[in-house]
Structures are given as C-alpha cells and as structure tokens.
Amino acid sequence: MLGSLPPCRGLSSYCLELSTAVADLGPVEFISFLKMYPAFIYPGGDLEDDNTFPPLTCTNLKVNRRLTWYNPISWIYAGLFSNAKLLHAQWWSLPLWLVYMVICTGFKLRGKPIVFTVHNVLSHEGSYTFYMASRLLFKLGDHFIVHTKRNKEQLIKYYQIHPDQISLIPHGTLDFYLNSDADRNDIRKEMGFTPKQKVILIFGAVRAYKGIDTAFAAFSEVLKKIPEARLIIAGKLWEDWKPYEQFAKTLRINDYLSSYLNYIPSNEVYRFFSASDLVILPYHQFDSQSGVGTAAISFRKPMIVTDVGGLPELVSDSRFIVPPKNPDALAKAIISCLKDSDQLEVMSANTKIAAEKFAWSAIAQKTWAIYQRLVLGTKTCERS
C-alpha cells in the first residue's frame, strides 16, 4: 500500500485505519514518507509531522518510511524491489504525482497489478493540471476504488475507465480520534462555553470550497432566534482569513465565534467534537466523501450537510441536507436542530446506524476481495 502514515499528515488518518483493518486479513507492507513535499508549496508554509497519532501495533503491518520528495532513488527502490504481489496506491495530491508515477511504473514493469483509491477524482479547486496528471497516472491502474457514486460517474466520464474496473467502497469512520476519558463539561468550560450555550462546529482545513462564508451568513440568522448559539471554526488556513474576519464584523457575529486557525493535532481533535452540539459541513462544492463527516459519525454527532458529493450519504434525514450556497436553508436547518433537544438526540442515534455502514471490517473485506481477484488474474472484480 502506498500513501501517508503517521507522523506524516496528508491521508494518514484514513491510511492508518485502512491498513490496520486490511492487515487483519493478510500481510500488508505500507510504503510511506519521511518527507512528503517541501513546506514552501504547502499552504501556510508549514508541514510539520504530527507525532500525536496512536502507535501502530499491528504485527501483520510492515511500515517502510523511506520516501522523500527530494530523493528519486527512494521512489525507484520502492517501485522495483518490493516483494508485494500488488500495489494499492492512495491518490490525492498533485505534488506527489512524480513519486507515484515512478513507483507505479516499477510495479507495472514487473507485471504486478495496481489498485488506485481515488480520493479526489478532480481537484477541489478545479485544477486542469491535476486532471491531466491523474489521467496519465490512471493509465497504469488495473482497478479503482472510490467512495461515492458521484466519483464513479466522474471516473467513467472524465477518464474513460470501464465501470467493471471501479468499485464503490465507503470512507470508514475515524474511531482512533475518540477519547473515552474526555469529560465534555470540563472541555466546554476550558474552551469558554457555558452549559446552556449551543455549540456548532466547522472542522477541517479552511479552504474556499468549504463554505465558511455561507456558514457565517447562516449563523447571523441563527443568532436572531438562538442568541446562546456559538460557532467554532477549527482547522488549518489554506487561504487569507481577513475577508472572513471582515465579513464576520459586518454581520456582527465576531463575539460569538471561536477560531482555532491552525492544524489540529490528532490527539486534540476529540476536544472540538466533544465540545460541540452540532457539526455542519456547508461545502459549496465537493465530489468525494468527507473525513470530517466520518469523524463526526465516530463521535455520534448530529450533522447538517450540503447536497454535494458524498455528503448526503452521511445523514439519514433529508431535512438536514441543504442546498449549497444557501444561507437561509442552512440557518433554518440549524435552528430546527438547536431548538429541539429531542431532535438532536435522534440525529445522534442515527449516526450509530451510519457507523455500521462505514465499519472498517466490512471495508477491509471488500478491499481484500479486489486484491484476491487481481492476483488470481480474473478480468473483473466484485463491484459494490
């Protein structure tokens, strides 16, 4: 398997859960990074390792952290000298394209099958360069895994990949973030929230497509009905915060916002979800499945999402799936939740059902079935 594992960031949360789940079924060698790419091309110029992830203790999982962005020999070695029977590459980031091309070519030259899990079929910002790079990379693939129906349609439409080569397997929950010793009341008090306040959380990297502006406009309407409402923004800045800050001032909501505008270490994530009453994903556009959404399911948090990508699959009640870029609809959904504690409890209970759908044991079984069919040389794989 090729991707990122702790202490690197990137897709480490997903890869950690997937690799350990698959390793319960058979031996896994994980090719990871020592240094993924230079900090100057990362938004904010900061790509420090996160050493707070839980330790890897699975005996069936061998981790090789040999890849560095500045050493092509490490890429060539990984592609030509692995004894694995196939390669499962987790594809998501344009700066890693050349690394992936070299490693995948090495496997291809030796006649070994390649599986891609495509986390971003198209870039969130609509980059044509990402599309063309992916198009070249995917020519090396024998089978493709995506998380949503929309992603499968995109692979067929934009990359002309045959439907029989694509499997739909969901993004699993991120249960390792949980902290059974956490005291919600203590955490809220430390963060400055009173027991009566209703806390809304927007979590994850702050990027243009995440809909922070829509959330602010909706929140200003929520405060008119629920003055005890509060909004947390927690995540690394990928863009200038000043326009959002000015917008918040214009709306007069600054005093009701709590902003944590930096990368949240793995062992601190639980604090934000524990403190919140409701998680919102007001994305303007999105094609894949959300790690933030599956984390919210792990914490059994009620969610409101926009009707984009795979987000609606996270929510069982259509009343809490709203159109993108529609502050009025978002505000209405938030108000209906926060004014009704019974409704919040029902939504929380529904996440338990969703958690079964996103269980890693089932995901690992489907993934392993693909491996078996490719290694045995059959033409098609079982599709989900």
pTM of the model: 0.91
Q: What is the mean pLDDT of the chain?
A: 93
CATH number of the structural domain spanning residue 163: 3.40.50.2000
Query: What per-residue confidence (pLDDT) applies to 198?
Result: 97
Query: What per-residue confidence (pLDDT) applies to 354?
Result: 87
Q: Give CA–CA dist 328/323, Å, rounded.
A: 10
Residue 191 has pLDDT above 80, yes or no: yes
Indicate if 327 and 202 belong to the same structural domain: yes
- Report the percentage of the chain scoring pLDDT > 70: 96
Owning domain of residue 103: 12-172+359-376
Indicate if 204 and 239 belong to the same structural domain: yes
- Report the percentage of the chain scoring pLDDT > 90: 83
Q: pLDDT tens digit string along 286-311?
A: 888 899 999 999 999 999 999 998 89
Q: Is residue 3 part of a domain?
A: no
Q: pLDDT tens digit string along 359-368?
A: 999 999 999 9
Q: pLDDT tens digit string along 19-45?
A: 999 999 999 999 999 988 877 776 655
Q: Is residue 211 part of a domain?
A: yes
| Nearest Cα residue to 275 out of 215, 192, 336 | 192
Locus of tokens 């005890």: 228
Query: Mean pLDDT over residues 71-96, rounded?
Result: 95
Query: What per-residue confidence (pLDDT) applies to 384?
Result: 46
Query: What per-residue confidence (pLDDT) applies to 45?
Result: 53
* Count of structural domains, the chain: 2
Which residue pairs, CB below 8 angstroms and at least 24 apart, start in 361-368?
A: 361/21, 361/24, 363/18, 363/21, 363/169, 363/170, 363/172, 364/18, 364/21, 364/22, 364/24, 364/25, 365/25, 366/167, 366/169, 367/18, 367/22, 367/88, 367/145, 367/169, 368/22, 368/25, 368/26
Residue 350 has pLDDT above 50, yes or no: yes
3-class SS of residue 2: strand
Residue 64 has pLDDT above 50, yes or no: yes
Indicate if 150 and 265 belong to the same structural domain: no
